[in-house]
Chains A and B, each alone.
Chain A
């Protein structure tokens, strides 16, 4: 044997996989005098697509989308403010980030739901220190969904601001100078030249943030947020099938984080244009290539592949 270590490791892994499959699928356990499958997959299956769970998924996805969309816009604004030579702008952005990054999101969520109505029972639209045009009861305006969206968005804005700022300062100053020498305004330079290049740095952590946000939405259970986790918890509170319903929630969270991971891969590829000379094939392209090519000769090493551009 040439690689005894690999054989041993493979053997260990195979045994572990067999144990995992066994415990997940085949093993049984006695609970309260009844023999039942350890993981109760039939129960999981039964609740996987019930209406409250599906509604919960809707809320979870909505909250994720809103929090990320607002968070990204807010992050870009805050990042540009922080990089502004104007001290008032950069200072206020700094304080915003300091505050929202420095307090737990769970505390913020509770605050938006409970604290706001306590501090400001009536919300007023009008001229500051002047007449009011419109007054509304905070209890009717700030529903748990609004509080959740608000809390998650404002918190995400602080994190996105730092990500966007890192992206912006990673772009070579020569790019700004070249754009300005063409006569582009500061706004055009930012939008057309700097941000597209910053995207390459911004996208991967933003993907992480989105995946993280999808799961963070489960915190809204503390303000009765009606999301996926709240829905499964509500069910298990009545039928006591705690573990199967945790599995229901996990399966859905895993499904959506997987979709996001794939999406992130393709968005990253899009913004890698011009930074690598030839993009590596996607997993699907590689699979297709491997399936439809008869391998009679060894595959050429990737290092001597087509991206060696002719110079001259």
Chain B
């Protein structure tokens, strides 16, 4: 088996004196869809943010596509990467946020081309052409010139997905992408994500949508108290959990 896309060994993270991640072990293969579930405060989002170095880890080892996140190992020592190198690696990882975080001062189209044009130095014309294709794919072909606040939550989140995809990432991180949406808008966003998974995108999805995890996830990981409690195929974890804590959690959300 080749090197996994994401490999975490004993990843630790503290906020002040609170240890939020207490030794996470986990790996994600290329093309795999991993769904992270668990109660709030269990460290799922923090772990996700560690993967593209929005948070620095305080211990353990985290590698994406065989390269350490945020650090360079030389001999037995670790050196923190310079800003520019961190940026180069982030550019290969797409991230979708719970609160969309579209840039409100730009049209939807400008949001989508902002990454390719500013970071990858793609010409604006080429970027625009590709962006239109992506927006068409997420069902927003008629909204390219609108500003984010003229869109519904579901439309904004699909635009945010298009913006992340415009960087042609090798890994997509979703941080509770549907948690801020009205129930009837959730479906459109999940459809787009399902399409991505079908196309073979490697995805890590922090979610409370158990239906999505069951249907689309290759692996479901249940986290609680900063550790991985159990992981496995959705049928096992969601239908026949081995741990009491998983069972209690599932009985509350299902």
B118 touches A177 (CB 8 A): no
Chain B residues whose C-beta falls within 8 Å of the C-beta of A172 in the assembled complex: 101
Chain B residues whose C-beta falls within 8 Å of the C-beta of A271 in the assembled complex: 105
**Which residues A182-203 have CB closer than 8 A to chain B?**
182-186, 188, 192-193, 196-197
Chain B interface: which of A72-80, A209-217, A254-262, A273-281?
Answer: A273-281
Interface size class of A (residues with CB under 8 A): 20 to 34
Closest Cβ of chain A: how far from B154's Cβ, in Å? 8
Residue A311 is within 8 A (CB to CB) of chain B in the complex: yes
Residue B91 is within 8 A (CB to CB) of chain A in the complex: yes
Chain A residues whose C-beta falls within 8 Å of the C-beta of B99 in the assembled complex: 174
Chain A interface: which of B71-79, B142-150, B205-213?
Answer: B142-150
**Which residues B203-227 have CB closer than 8 A to chain A?**
none
Chain A residues whose C-beta falls within 8 Å of the C-beta of B244 in the assembled complex: none
Chain B residue with Cβ nearest A200? B105
Chain B residues whose C-beta falls within 8 Å of the C-beta of A180 in the assembled complex: 54, 87, 90
- What total of chain B residues lie within 8 Å of the partner, measured CB to CB? 36
Chain A residues whose C-beta falls within 8 Å of the C-beta of B104 in the assembled complex: 197, 274-275
Query: How far, in angstroms, from A271 to B147 measured CA to CA in the complex?
Result: 13
A-B CB contacts (within 8 Å), total count: 82
Residue A104 is within 8 A (CB to CB) of chain B in the complex: no
Closest Cβ of chain A: how far from B85's Cβ, in Å? 11
A181 touches B105 (CB 8 A): no
Chain A residue with Cβ nearest B167? A182
A174 touches B101 (CB 8 A): yes
Chain B residues whose C-beta falls within 8 Å of the C-beta of A277 in the assembled complex: 147, 149-150
Knowing A177-B97, A188-B118 touch, does A273 contact B105 (C-beta < 8 A)? yes
Q: Which of A181, A192, A197, A311 is the one whose CB lies under 8 Å from B90? A: A181
Residue A125 is within 8 A (CB to CB) of chain B in the complex: no
The 4 A-B pairs with the shortest beta carbon distances in the complex, nearest first, are A183-B91, A178-B101, A182-B115, A181-B95
User: Mind listing 14 A-B residue pairs with CB under 8 Å?
Assistant: A174-B97, A177-B97, A178-B97, A178-B102, A178-B103, A180-B54, A181-B95, A183-B89, A184-B87, A271-B105, A274-B104, A274-B105, A275-B105, A312-B152
Question: Interface of A with B (CB < 8 Å)?
Answer: 172, 174-175, 177-186, 188, 192-193, 196-197, 271, 273-275, 277, 309, 311-312
